[in-house]
């Protein structure tokens, strides 16, 4: 079970948000997006295995992100937590959502472990690596490490996140979805 339908729906939500906020070009400024959504970001050193948290307190939205992680990883975490605020605010109300190691890969979605996380990862991927921006780049061979690394730098994401994104896009296109 790969939750393909839910992933695509989450991507569409990210795309709609980017359009509404007039987000353009790359790299995407996720901190600014959070600000525009009224979400307060706090950067705090956490245990290495904790990536971030999302919660609402006294009506204010918060994201906490691990200061000890690489900037590109923090950008993915912030996007992932933005997704929780946008997609799952009702389910999360009165609770603190804690993300341990966030997987930018497929392993999690294929186990069907947690729909929220699958949706948040799909949303974050579209926000940071918009399908339309990647399409402009043309055909990308996911096995071309240098090319993947170069694109990762352009979009300010980890190479791992970029590789997964490219794989997912190819998969989706070949599915005719």
Q: CB–CB of 30/75 below 8 Å?
A: yes
Q: Cβ of residue 92: shortest distance to another protein, in angstroms?
A: 5
User: Cβ atoms within 10 A of the Cβ of 57, count?
Assistant: 10
* Contact residues for another protein, defined by CB under 8 A: 40, 42-50, 53, 55, 57, 60, 62, 64, 67-71, 91-92, 94-101, 107, 110-111, 113-114, 116
Task: Determine the Cα–Cα distance for residues 114 and 116; give it in Å rounded to an integer.
Answer: 6
Q: Cβ of residue 31: shortest distance to another protein, in angstroms?
A: 13
Q: Cβ of residue 19: shortest distance to another protein, in angstroms?
A: 28
Q: Cβ of residue 90: shortest distance to another protein, in angstroms?
A: 11
Beta bridge partners of 21: none
Q: Judged by CB, which is closer to another protein: 67, or 137? A: 67
Q: 24: Cβ–Cβ under 8 A, 6 or more apart, which residues?
A: none
Query: For strand 39-44 and strand 50-57, is the pairing parallel, antiparallel, or unpaired?
Result: unpaired
Q: Judged by CB, which is closer to another protein: 94, or 176? A: 94
Q: Judged by CB, which is closer to another protein: 16, or 44? A: 44
Q: Judged by CB, which is closer to another protein: 2, or 62? A: 62
Q: Judged by CB, which is closer to another protein: 33, or 53? A: 53
Q: Cβ of residue 4: shortest distance to another protein, in angstroms?
A: 19
Q: How far apart are the first and last CA of the chain?
A: 16
Q: 42: Cβ–Cβ under 8 A, 6 or more apart, which residues?
A: 62, 63, 64, 65
């Amino acid at each position: 079970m790969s939750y393909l339908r839910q992933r695509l729906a989450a991507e569409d939500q990210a795309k709609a948000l980017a359009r509404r906020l007039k987000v353009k070009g790359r790299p995407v400024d996720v901190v600014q997006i959070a600000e525009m959504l009224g979400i307060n970001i706090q950067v705090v050193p956490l245990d290495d295995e904790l990536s971030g948290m999302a919660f609402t307190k006294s009506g204010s939205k918060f994201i906490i992100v691990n200061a000890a992680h690489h900037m590109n990883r923090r950008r993915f975490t912030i996007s992932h937590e933005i997704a929780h605020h946008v997609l799952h605010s009702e389910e999360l109300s009165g609770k603190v959502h804690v993300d341990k190691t966030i997987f930018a890969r497929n392993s999690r979605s294929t186990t069907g472990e947690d729909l929220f996380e699958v949706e948040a990862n799909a949303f974050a991927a579209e926000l940071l690596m918009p399908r339309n921006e990647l399409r402009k780049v043309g055909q990308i061979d996911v096995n071309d490490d240098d090319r993947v690394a170069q694109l990762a730098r352009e979009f300010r994401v980890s190479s791992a996140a970029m590789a997964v994104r490219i794989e997912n896009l190819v998969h989706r296109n070949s599915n005719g979805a």
